[in-house]
Amino acid sequence: MAPERTLPPLRADERTTLTAFLDAQRATLAIKCDGLTDGQLRERAVPPSSLSLLGIVRHMAEVERNWFRPLLSGERMSAIYAPDMDWEGAFRDVATADTAEAFRTWRAECDHARTLVAAAPSLDTTGERGGARFTLRWVITHMIEEYARHNGHADLLRERIDGTTGE
């Protein structure tokens, strides 16, 4: 089944609006990857870039984990694909990566983040990450920005792979 994207409501409270925009960005990444083979998902942009759609998915699993878990449940930052917290590892090591596992991990991190966000008392909830305190509002906004930037990369990658364009 092809991924679906629900557009954010035109009138809603701040929390609903922010989480809906974040979910729309998550769905956009899934749509950009839909229907491609493992080999196509591994294809790099252009030298010397290490960007690939699979790398972006793996990176976003890291980003989901290492913003929401420390902030909302006090967990230490921990790597999935980034040995020694080298965040470029998610992009670099795609040649032998298990594509299905990467998508399962990314979706699980998104689901876990949704659960943590839903349980937070407010957008003013704060938590620590890397020695600094952030509000949940700031983190959700940052995540929307992070996805938007990488979805722009995904647009170009997908068009290069098979000519598909669109939102």
- Beta-carbon contacts of residue 32 (< 8 Å; ≥ 6 apart): 53, 151, 154, 155, 157, 158
The pTM of the full predicted model, rounded to 2 decimals, is 0.95
**Where along the chain do its domains lie?**
20-162
Q: Where are the alpha helices (DSSP H) in the chain?
A: 14-33, 38-42, 53-73, 89-92, 99-119, 136-162
User: What letter would DSSP give residue 132?
Assistant: E
List of the chain residues with pLDDT < 70: 1, 167
Instruction: Read off the pLDDT of residues 36-52 as tens digits, 9 standing for 90 and up.
Output: 999 999 999 887 889 99
The dotted CATH code for 20-162 is 1.20.120.450
103, amino acid identity: F
